[in-house]
Amino acid sequence: MAKELIDVARMPTTGGSSLFGSVPALEDAPIVRDLQAAGAVVVGKSNMHELAVGSAKNPWFGQVVNPLSPAHGTGGTSSGSVAAVAAGFVDFALGTDSGGSNRSTAAATGLYGFKPTNGLLSVEGVRPVSPTLDTVGILSRSGSTLARVFAALVGRPPSEGVALAGRVFARPIGLHGPVDASVERALECAAETIRAGGGEIVEVTFSDAAALSQAGREILRYEFHRQYRGAIAAAPERVGQDVHAFLAIAAQVSAAQYDDALARIGEHRQLWHRHLEGLDAVLLPSAPGLAPRLEDEHTRVGGQWVPYGPAGAELRMWANTIGLPAVAIPVTRPPGLPASIQLAGRPRADAVLLDLATALGRAVGG
């Protein structure tokens, strides 16, 4: 299953919109072609938020319901991809992650959601949202499936796995705001599991997290506006109100603000690379709460209902701006909806990160 931003030959790439009509793609995106060469079968395309910036209520193709609970949504733009996997229709699906969508949706549906190192997997044949931040990743019910699919995409044999023993995981201080008690319990469960398995937990302080998230938002808005303003102006009736609203906000980001944002993330990338020296992974939540309500995509954090996507942006956007690999891992504690934790790793150490996610996920019930 491929998200509707990704070209599959003889199928239209609508981007969840009517903006492009129904003209079929002439050829597969390289990432699709590589998977087919490895034996994968593409069974179809999956619904999404319109152009990856609209709301969950897609005006052209409808809203995706969470297979775990019809009263809940899927929490991000890779909505159809995670629903297909969570419902058991496919073993894995391709989604895109420009600000956290593979991880937020995986968190809402009890899946593993992987965002690779920026630039490691090809985004050719994928409709852009923000070229600086765009990545194509994988969604599945198991970490081992993620690892096997990734190995096929990079042309390497699958790893034999790793142990948690001897590995160093960082708990970031100052990187994100409050999370619900259910998520905090899942995070503590993961930390205890790492220690029990012979791993080490250290605390690392990160400064200017808010500035980093803001830089990511400015880059995404500016690049989306630059990419789509002409096509939308020529056919405004072909996109929904939510896209128009996003475009109006995006138009307020100036070229000077954009250049400054690019400079800021360049500085932060150097800082983060120093932070990651001697670490195997960073451990943090994937989302501030459990799966959002279907009607408004809000999740409970303590005694408040907050917007699932915006409230969790600082948990996920930083990996896109810094360019790091990251993976959401389900922590199942039935009854009820699963919580989700996240591991992020060093640039281009994606295979090791996926092996660590598999080992940790098995231990915490994912």
Residue 44 CB: number of other CB atoms within 10 A?
A: 14
Burial of 150 (0-12, 13-18, 19+ CB in 10 A): buried
CA distance 232 to 248: 11
Distance of CA 350 to the CA centre of its chain: 14
Report which of 175, 147, 145, 123 is spatially closest to residue 2, judged by C-alpha positions: 123
- H/E stretch holding 216 reads helix 209-234
pTM over 0.85: yes
Q: Is residue 169 within 8 Å of 346, Cβ to Cβ?
A: no
Q: What is the pLDDT of residue 23?
A: 94
Domain of residue 118: give its range: 2-364
Total of domains in the chain: 1
CA distance 238 to 155: 40
- First-to-final CA distance of the chain: 22
Burial of 305 (0-12, 13-18, 19+ CB in 10 A): middle
Q: What is the pLDDT of residue 231?
A: 98
Q: What is the pLDDT of residue 140?
A: 98
Give me the CATH number covering residue 74.
3.90.1300.10
* Non-local CB neighbours of 321 within 8 Å, separated by 6+ positions: 133, 212, 213, 215, 216, 219, 265, 268
Q: In this structure, are strands 298-301 and 281-285 parallel, antiparallel, or unpaired?
A: unpaired
CA distance 8 to 263: 35
Q: Is residue 151 within 8 Å of 138, Cβ to Cβ?
A: no
Please give the chain's pLDDT, 366 residues, in tens: 999 999 999 999 999 999 999 999 999 999 999 999 999 999 999 999 999 999 999 999 999 999 999 999 999 999 999 999 999 999 999 999 999 999 999 999 999 999 999 999 999 999 999 999 999 999 999 999 999 999 999 999 888 788 999 999 999 988 888 999 999 999 999 999 999 999 999 998 876 777 888 999 999 999 999 999 999 999 999 999 999 999 999 999 999 999 999 999 999 888 888 889 999 999 999 999 999 999 999 999 999 999 999 999 989 999 999 999 999 999 986 678 999 999 999 999 999 999 999 999 999 986
Question: Residue 155, by phi and psi: left (phi above 0), alpha (psi -120 to 50) or beta?
Answer: left
Q: What is the pLDDT of residue 174?
A: 82
Strand, coil or helix: what is 295? Answer: coil
Q: Is residue 299 within 8 Å of 292, Cβ to Cβ?
A: yes
CA angle (193, 198, 203) in 5-degree steps: 70
Q: Which residue has the tokens 């690779």?
A: 116
Strand partners, 157: none
CA distance 28 to 48: 19
Strand, coil or helix: what is 297? Answer: coil
Q: What is the pLDDT of residue 356?
A: 97
Tokens of 248: 């109006």
CA distance 117 to 4: 22
Torsion angles phi and psi, residue 365, rounded to 5: 100, 5
* DSSP-derived secondary structure letter, 168: E
